[in-house]
Structures are given as structure tokens and as C-alpha cells.
């Protein structure tokens, strides 16, 4: 994985939300923390080109998010803050298969890939279920399956353990820890990212601290106190 920000800046309606940022990311597991509204989600959306830089540029594995959006999104999968809006088709299996459409696989190959990814996350029994009936934890796992079925190099997750009960929380946490993909996780849940390789701390749209988790989390606690 190779993500580069070069003086990249994000603005909404003239207001700067992420100030010009230069940064390169290659660690396998990266956490992103910061107060509400500090720009974490916007930063993450800049990585996969859902938010394009108003100035500067962002590249992912060599692809420019502004010029090669589709290629970038093939490299970097994204799990949204509300996973229920990410399941697009009514039946889970069909939804997961949707991501594979552009690969032009045979029906049998598609089915095998879908079964495999469902089994990987222990949700084979949910394949025929309707998305609007799934619980929060099930939805989070379903969203993971729907994104990882296309085998992206990088997976970005926006508050994956938000609103989960204790059991689903530890289930999703264990699942995240077992992933062998490159991951970037935004979280208010500091224990989730405590053993990651690097943590970014955003404050008021700027990267306030950047380094090993223990150090950066300590700074965050100081600020919040």
C-alpha cells in the first residue's frame, strides 16, 4: 500500500475542512482519531476519491484520485459510518455479487466467491436474508463481505464498532484484528486501534499528531480532558 497526500486540501462551500496536508502512508494498520467534526471522515473520503482535493493531490498505489477515481476505488474499499446504506440490493448474496459484476465472472465463479466471503466472516447463514432485517453487527459483517469480495488492497473503515452492543462489538473487533488486508480505521474506540502500527490524530482539520498509538492516544486524552 502506498498512499500519498501532497498539499491536499478539502473544502466544502468555501470552508476548509482538511487543511493542506502532506503525508505518506504505508503501514499495514493505521488508526485515525479526533473529536467530532475534526475532519476524519473527510480525510478518509479523500483517500478513495469520494472527496476530491480542492488543491494539491492524493494518489493511491500510484493512481491519482482526481484522474483515476475508478481505479483508486478498486484499490481502496470503504465501509461507511452507516453500513445499512451500503448494502444496495435487497438480498445479501445478490448484493455481494453486485461488486463482482464488472469482473465478468461465470455464474458459478461468482457464487463460489460469494459463498467464500460469507464463510470467511461466519455469516453463511445470512446469505438469503434481506438487508433491512439484519442487526447492527450482522450489517457490519455484511458490509465487510460486500467490500472484501473484490479483494481491494486497502480497506478503510469509518467507525466500524459504533452503535454495537457488547457482543457484536467484540465480534467486529476480533474480525478487524484478524484481517490481513491493509486497513485504515477511524474510531472513537481507542482500544480498537491500541495495537495498530500508526495512529493519526486530527484536530480542527489539521493533522495534530502522528506516530505510534500509545503516544498519540496520550495526546488525544490530554486534549479531550
Partner 1 sequence: MKTLYVEGDTFLHRLSPRTKLVGLAALSLFLFLIHSPTVLSVSATLGGIVYASLRLGWHQSWLRLRPILLTIAIVALFTLVLNGWHDALIVITRLTALALFAAAVTATTSTGDFIDEITRLAMPLERLGLVRAADIGLSIGLVIRFVPEILGRYQAIRDAHRARGLKVRPLTLTVPLIILTLKNADEIAAAIDARGVRAQK
Ligand X SMILES: Nc1ncnc2c1ncn2[C@@H]1O[C@H](COP(=O)(O)OP(=O)(O)OP(=O)(O)O)[C@@H](O)[C@H]1O
Q: Contact letters (x/-) for Mg ion, 123-162, by CB under 5 A? A: ----------------------------------------
* 3-class secondary structure, 220: helix
Interface with partner 1, residue 39, by CB under 8 A: no
- Interacting residues of 205 by C-beta distance below 8 A, sequence separation 6+: 16, 17, 18, 19, 38, 39
Strands (E), 13-113: 15-25, 29-34, 55-60, 63-64, 76-79
Binder of partner 1 out of 38, 59, 146, 182 (CB under 8 A): 146
How far is the C-alpha of 81 from the C-alpha of 153, rounded, in Å? Answer: 20
Interacting residue with Mg ion among 18, 33, 41, 152 (CB under 5 A): 41
Q: Which of 136, 132, 213 is nearest to 172 (CA)?
A: 136
As beta bridge partners, residue 63 has: 60
Nearer to Mg ion, 114 or 156 (CB): 156
12 in contact with ligand X (CB under 6 A): yes
Rule CB under 6 A: say whether 39 interacts with ligand X.
Answer: yes
**Does residue number 97 form part of the binding site for ligand X (CB under 6 A)?**
no
14 vs 106, beta carbon nearer ligand X: 14
Applying CB under 6 A, the residues found at the interface with ligand X are: 12, 17, 34, 36-42
Amino acid at each position: 500500500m502506498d498512499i500519498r497526500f501532497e498539499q491536499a486540501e478539502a473544502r466544502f462551500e468555501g470552508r476548509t475542512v482538511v487543511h493542506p496536508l502532506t503525508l505518506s502512508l504505508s503501514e499495514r494498520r493505521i488508526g485515525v482519531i479526533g473529536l467530532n467534526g475534526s475532519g476524519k471522515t473527510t480525510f478518509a473520503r479523500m483517500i478513495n476519491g469520494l472527496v476530491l482535493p480542492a488543491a494539491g493531490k492524493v494518489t493511491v498505489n500510484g493512481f491519482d484520485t482526481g484522474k483515476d477515481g475508478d481505479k483508486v476505488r478498486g484499490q481502496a474499499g470503504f465501509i461507511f459510518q452507516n453500513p445499512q446504506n451500503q448494502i444496495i440490493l435487497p438480498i445479501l448474496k445478490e448484493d455481494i455479487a453486485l461488486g463482482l459484476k464488472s469482473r465478468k465472472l461465470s455464474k458459478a465463479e461468482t457464487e463460489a466467491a460469494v459463498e467464500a466471503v460469507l464463510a470467511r466472516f461466519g455469516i453463511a447463514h445470512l446469505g438469503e436474508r434481506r438487508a433491512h432485517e439484519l442487526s447492527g453487527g450482522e450489517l457490519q459483517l455484511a458490509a465487510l463481505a460486500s467490500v472484501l469480495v473484490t479483494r481491494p488492497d486497502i480497506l478503510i473503515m469509518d467507525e466500524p464498532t459504533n452503535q454495537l452492543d457488547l457482543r457484536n462489538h467484540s465480534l467486529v473487533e476480533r474480525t478487524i484484528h484478524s484481517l490481513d488486508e491493509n486497513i485504515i480505521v477511524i474510531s472513537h474506540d481507542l482500544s480498537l486501534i491500541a495495537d495498530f502500527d500508526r495512529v493519526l490524530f486530527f484536530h480542527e482539520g489539521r493533522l495534530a499528531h502522528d506516530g505510534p498509538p500509545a503516544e498519540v492516544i496520550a495526546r488525544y486524552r490530554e486534549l479531550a480532558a
